[in-house]
Chain A
Amino acid sequence: MKKFDILEHTADGKFRAYGKNLEEQFGNAVLAMFSFMFKVEEVKPKIKKEVKAAGKDEKALLYNWLEEFLVLLDLDAFIPSKIKEVKITKTDKGFEIKGIVLGDKVGEHKHIGSVKAMTYAEMEITDKYVQVVVDL
């Protein structure tokens, strides 16, 4: 199954991430977002991190989850290459997500673009895909 598709958008980065369930879609969304910035397929899964996020609803969960990775890029110069063991649980406050991410430092990887921030614009969560627009 294809992991994601990049869609047409005038000013920003729009994509659809696919997966057999929500967790897989959320994982592929991370790779889709980073594909605007780096050749993710060239990044080696050397460093392991656990990433967590929470949100009042599924869209907030997706927003906060993807933002965690933008923060990791800024703070740790970290590029994700593989996401696994993603688990989404329902809580009384909404939802929680955690996952294992493997990747590497930016180091010598040349960036091919820049993602400024996550947005809620045109966000869709369906059983086939999640759709996101990021601010480039």
Chain B
Amino acid sequence: MGDEIEFKKKSEYVWEIPKTGSMRVPAIIYASAALMDKIKEDKTLLQASNVAHLQGIQKASYVMPDAHQGYGFPIGGVAAFDMDEGIISPGGVGYDINCGVRLLKTDWTFKDLQSKRQELLDMLYKEIPAGVGRGGITKLSKSELLEVLNTGAKWALKNGYGTKEDLQRTEEDGHMEGADPSACSTRALARGLPQLGTLGAGNHFLEIQKVDKIYDKTTADAFGIDKEGQVTVMIHCGSRGFGHQVASDYIRLMEDKFGHAHLPDRELINAPINSDLGQKYYKAMCSAINFAFANRQMIAHWTRDVFNKVLGSSEGMRMVYDVCHNIAKFEEHDVDGKKKKLCIHRKGATRSFGPGRIEIPEVYRKVGQPVMLPGSMGTASYVLVGTKKAEEISWGSTAHGAGRVASRAWALKHYRGEEVKKHLEEMDIKVKAGSWKGLAEECHKVYKDIDEVARVSTNLGLGKKVARLVPIGVVKG
């Protein structure tokens, strides 16, 4: 297939790559014209149409408003597969399995902690392990690691990290039932062991934020977000080297078994869901999902500790929600009027269920699932609420943040870390980062317009704006 992918506009925010050649279904892109201009600049459209070739795919290969080029699947790709005929693909999940976002709300306002901000950041940077080639402070035994992989955030709770409510307000209650560490390689376990309880680096971060605007007061109240200026904390990280190893192990195993010459893209390697290997990947993936849940549970706990030490209390610091954005799950959805169990792949996409779904916590079931779109440093993040409409048109999914529009090389040509820090400080955002270069690469100008992504998601009904959050302090590895 050439680089020019034919697509047509179906409506203001819906675009289609029609089913042609060996595509089994069309590809559908949810974006505004402005976002589409960016999307068509890289290989996103080609990748979306490649996904449409995969066996057992249902309805369409979906692309979210913040999509950009990925490996095999585009980042911001959603695809559902029939359980009997369909496939499961490590490329459709991503290397950073259960990279996700956790949001805590507090009872403080920006004014309350303005003077203590640097102290908070310094202590967060000190207490929460981050960076590259550095392990965590948690000394785990192998059997403890196995328990983490089996039970995820439950292990963390059992070991004194956080509260029961935290788990209730986490996607999947903070653990996937289908995990089996024996499906994970020795090497994956070896990489995971020293990395539990670490933030990582790159685009992972911990951000102290304040509520900038509330769009839907009823839903915001239900989520615990009740006033402008309220302080929130957002944590963005995943399964670290453990997840990366699980992904590459299974890419290798699936290639060995099924070959890859028949695939439009080597990174679309997959196995039938029904097969031994497909089931084993699912079990290993669930183990990695659990690792990431435990990770975020620990980091959130340490965050509360730090706030307690610096401000004297962390009582009002409660979970809003924790969402995954690199995952494959078995979910029941409506297909042509019938309820069907499907394998949903969300790669750089977030589940966005509406009111009534049993998968969302009881406390939110009347309003819908909280969805967090993390922005980049220096720009906003959003809290959205899931919708019934999303269930109808995107397997209950929406964007995961603001995808990049410019390369790290471009960023480094145009920005220096020190400049970015100064610019952020001018916007009254304090930063504590492990790397100047990392700061420059992550500067907001290289990301898509998060406000546009949130607007499109709302107008389409994929996930509706509840609140806009802006950073007041950032911790990066």
Contact = CB atoms under 8 A, between A and B. Distances in A.
A27 to B, nearest CB: 20
B96 interface: yes
Contacts of A7: 409
Interface string B213-248: 000000000000000000000000000010011011
A106 interface: yes
Given A75-B190, A119-B267, A135-B71, A10 B437 contact: no
Interface string B459-472: 00000000000000
A9 B70 CA distance: 11
A8 interface: yes
Residue in B70, B194, B248 with the greatest tally of chain A CB atoms within 10 Å: B248
Nearest to A73: B133
A90 interface: no
Interface stretch (B77-85, B117-125, B365-373, B400-408): B400-408
B266 interface: yes
A7 to B, nearest CB: 8
A29 B247 CA distance: 21
A53 to B, nearest CB: 11
Contact of B202 (A60, A71, A113): A113
Interface residues of B, number: 48
Interface string B183-203: 000010011001100001111
A37 B267 contact: no
A92 interface: no
B438 interface: yes
Contacts of B477: 111, 114
A18 B272 CA distance: 39
A36 B437 CA distance: 10
A136 B202 contact: yes
Contacts of B202: 113-114, 116, 136
Given A60-B255, A75-B191, A119-B267, A9 B407 contact: yes
Contact of A113 (B70, B72, B135, B201): B201
B408 A120 contact: no
A8 B190 CA distance: 33
Interface string B392-416: 0000000000011111111000000
B404 A74 contact: no
Q: Which residue among A6, A7, A110 has the maximum number of chain B CB atoms within 10 Å of its CB? A: A110
A132 B134 CA distance: 25
A95 to B, nearest CB: 14
Which 9 A-B pairs rank lowest in CB-CB distance, beginning with the nearest?
A111-B132, A114-B202, A114-B201, A106-B133, A112-B437, A117-B95, A117-B244, A120-B266, A74-B241
17 contacts: A8-B410, A11-B75, A11-B403, A60-B255, A71-B187, A74-B133, A75-B194, A106-B132, A111-B133, A111-B434, A113-B202, A114-B438, A117-B248, A119-B71, A120-B267, A121-B267, A135-B71
